Each structure stands twice: as C-alpha cells, then as structure tokens.
A and B are shown apart, each in its own frame.
Chain A
C-alpha cells in the first residue's frame, strides 16, 4: 500500500537571495533525512538517508529522470550523456562506455604523469625562489591540459587555444555558454578532417568516432560534438575542484600532510609505478576520498519522479523533484564522526566496511553514475603522488576558505600558496634532472594553458 503521508518541511519557500547550500543545510538540521520544500517554484523532497537515496538512484531509478539542476547544464552542453534520457541515453552510454574501460584509461597514465611533472617543475621553481603560486589556477590549467590531450591527442595544439576559456573563465554564466557552445564546430571540423584522412586516432575523440551502436551506426556528428564537449567540461571542473580543495585541506593539516609524504617516500621511488600498483598507495587515496567527502564537486543532484512513488514512509507524487545533496550526506552527523573535520583515516578499510555504500556519492551511483569516475580517480592520484612527494604547500591566509555552490562546489577565492621542497631522501639536484623540471622549460610547456590570467579575485585583493 502506498503511503499518503508527506514529509515535514519549511512553510516558506526557498528564496534565491539565500545561499541554497546553506539553506538546505539549515532545513536538514531542522527536519532530518527527508523534508519537503518549495524551491525554484517546484515541490521538492530533499533526501539525505543513504537507503532512501539508494531507492531513487538504484532500486527504482527508472522512475526518475534528471531534474531541475540539469536544465542549467543542458543550456550549456546540449543533450549529451549527462543530460539525455531514455533511448538516446542508453544508446550513447553503450557507445561511450568502452572508451572509459580500465584498460583504455590505463594507457593515459603516462600522459597524466607527464603533464603533472610540468606542474611540479613550475612549483619546484617557485619553491626555490620562495614565491607564491596560484594553486587554483595552475591546477585548473593542468587538469584542462590532461583532459584536452586525452580527448584530442595530437590535435591538442589546435584546440587548446579555443578551449582554454574553461580555465580562464571559471564562471558558468550565459556569456560563458555563448562563447563555449560554438566550440562544438571545432570538434566537428576536426572529426571531419580525421575521417577524410582515414585516421580517427586512438584518443577519446577517435574512440567515439569509431564507436557503433547496435545497428552498426556511428554517432551523428553533432551528437559526437555534444559528447566531446560534455567530456571536456565534466572532466575538467570536477577533478580540478577536488585537487584544489585537497591542497587546501593538506595545508591545514600537517599530520595528514606528513603521513602522505611518508607513504610516498616509502613506496614511490624514482620510477613511477605501473597503474595496477596504484592501490598500494592507500593513504594517498584516502586523502583524495576525504577531500571529495568534504567538498564534492557535484554537491547537489536532482531527479524528477515520473510516476507516483514512495520513499520511506512518504508518498511521492509524480512530478516531485528529488534533491540528493552529497554535500549534506557526506557531512551527515549520523553517518560520520566529527563530520566537518578533515580526517583521511576514516577511509581505512576497517572503518569503510561499516559504512553504507551510499554514504559517499561524489560520482553519484547507479546506472546514471559518472562514466569518468575511474579516469578521475587515476588522474587525481597521479597528480597528488607526483607533487606531494616533492613539495608541501604553505597557505598563509588565516580566514577560512569560502565556498561557492553553483553547478560545482568551488572556492570563492583562488588559493595562493608557497611551495616548499620536502626534506626527504632525494637530492635537490635530482629535481633538475627530471623531465620538465627546468623552470624555463616548465614555464614554456605550461604557457599555453597555465599562462592564462585568472579573472577570479584572490584573498586580500
């Protein structure tokens, strides 16, 4: 029997003058795991209990389409894999999935390491001259370079000047959308050129060009462009955001920073490990997991009920928007001890075993989870291993970091930090012998991406 009871909730509608993240947190503390609210003119249930989230994202996922939040993304990216529904989504997911298999991603480890060594070179140079670096900006540029090189391969130099807008302009405004959308034509021209030359390539673009549906048909070129644009945006912002927060959190916690350094000293020699050895670096992974727990880039997911349903004790009328906020769930005091404290040890195997699988949702869950999860995890780990083995980052700003909860969870201000060479078994001269570590070479190599000036305000400016 379907319940007719509706959950409790505030009488007043959410007002857009308020920060939605803070408002949702206030209501969550007042009404608990399921509450009803009027948000942006829609009837919304905000669900923060993992077993109920499991119902929406896994057990009864077919009753839910993507909700309000996706409209904003759709205006930017069109109907790619993140936005589409039904048969189109199934078809696209099947065609794209092979490109994200572990074997395919494993082949990108060298590329990820190479680009991050360039960043290490730049930051090591700053360490020697005791100068600050803009961590937010440099990471954004580095991650964008990894994404663009993974997608466009040898055509990177052709596309990079156009797509650098992603790093140069962090606001996802109408103006940004207006400038970004026409880049789909560049993707189409590139795909046509590769087709004419009969060289699709082995990068993501090439793999998607060669993908076929069950009828043996390739993606229409406009759909191909939409998927590539989606991969560029999704692959860039989320990973860059997590790494940005990771450095901030490490800069605030000398114990965790030291523990991370010790693991990297013991396990990571001069040779970078094979990709299947990465799981050995357990603490490195725990640091990243903890950063994603506290600052999930996709801090809010929305779904819309197609038919009447029941969530826990509550009746869900068709058309109800369901808000699932990883930001709330991952700081839920019933699920996490000292939820606001940075503590990578909470992700030890023993403690993780006791936790509901959906207490963590940084990549969503179920059939509509993030297709690029493995790629993102590998990229973040390689970045952290390469940089944290050599450097620690000093952040002198005393005020707590502020959040901006838009489409992604960003820091309001760029993080300016001073890199410091870590005291460890390697010699300073070793730094100069590594590829990309000469300061001049590093600046040159990063210039095309990292050299763009940020328009974001920095603390104190």
Chain B
C-alpha cells in the first residue's frame, strides 16, 4: 500500500467514525474544506503514526502546517524513514 493510499484510507475511516462528510480527496483540496475537524485530524495523525512509525509534526525543527491534501501527503512521503 502506498503512502498516499494509506493516508486516503485513514481520512475515509476517520470521517466515517466521526460521522463527517468528507470532500473528494483531490490534490488541491484545502484541508480546511475537507469536512474534518481538529479532533479528526488528531486521530488521523495518531493512526498514521501507528502505520508509518513516525509523526511528521513531531520534530524539533519548524513544520509548516499543510494547506492542501497533497501538502499533507508530501509531509509523509518526504519524511526520512
């Protein structure tokens, strides 16, 4: 399973659990318009940490919060393993 498909699956699962209407996950979808709330994002980051073994927000250096879905995916794809 690719990084992107893992992330997509988590967005969909958390949206279902949280009973949120998830927008279509296109590259340019703004996360603010995704239909998810802050709790949903916290859950997604936690679940992805379990899947990938890291949290890209959990680094000492500055992290720019992603704006779009593709920014979010890139944070995981570009994170040093």
* Chain A residues in the interface with B (C-beta under 8 A): 16-17, 40-42, 68, 71-72, 74-76, 78-79, 88, 172-175, 177-178, 181, 222-223
Q: A16-B17, A174-B37 are in contact. Are A72 and B60 (CB under 8 A)?
A: no
Complex CA distance for A16 and B43, rounded to whole angstroms: 12
Residues of chain A with a CB closer than 8 A to B62's CB: 78, 222
Closest to A177 in B: B38
Smallest CB separation, B20 vs chain A (Å): 10
CB of B52 within 8 A of chain A? no
Within B43-74, which residues are at the interface with A (CB < 8 Å)? 43, 45-47, 57-63, 65
Smallest CB separation, B12 vs chain A (Å): 14
Complex CA distance for A433 and B60, rounded to whole angstroms: 52
Report whether B57 and A74 are in contact in the complex, using a CB–CB cutoff of 8 Å.
Answer: yes
Complex CA distance for A61 and B42, rounded to whole angstroms: 24
Complex CA distance for A302 and B19, rounded to whole angstroms: 24
Smallest CB separation, A381 vs chain B (Å): 33
Q: A40-B43, A181-B65 are in contact. Are A173 and B19 (CB under 8 A)?
A: no
Complex CA distance for A451 and B46, rounded to whole angstroms: 39
Report whether A72 and B42 are in contact in the complex, using a CB–CB cutoff of 8 Å.
Answer: yes
Name which of A16, A42, A68, A173 has the most chain B CB atoms within 10 A of its CB: A16
Smallest CB separation, A184 vs chain B (Å): 9
Smallest CB separation, A17 vs chain B (Å): 7
* Chain B residues in the interface with A (C-beta under 8 A): 17-19, 31-32, 36-39, 41-43, 45-47, 57-63, 65
Residues of chain B with a CB closer than 8 A to A181's CB: 65
Residues of chain B with a CB closer than 8 A to A177's CB: 38, 65
Report whether A41 and B58 are in contact in the complex, using a CB–CB cutoff of 8 Å.
Answer: no
Smallest CB separation, B67 vs chain A (Å): 9
Report whether A16 and B41 are in contact in the complex, using a CB–CB cutoff of 8 Å.
Answer: no
Residues of chain A with a CB closer than 8 A to B47's CB: 41
Complex CA distance for A175 and B35, rounded to whole angstroms: 12
Closest to A78 in B: B63
Closest to B40 in A: A174
Report whether A75 and B46 are in contact in the complex, using a CB–CB cutoff of 8 Å.
Answer: no
Report whether A41 and B43 are in contact in the complex, using a CB–CB cutoff of 8 Å.
Answer: yes
Report whether B60 and A74 are in contact in the complex, using a CB–CB cutoff of 8 Å.
Answer: no
Report whether B57 and A72 are in contact in the complex, using a CB–CB cutoff of 8 Å.
Answer: no
Complex CA distance for A74 and B32, rounded to whole angstroms: 17
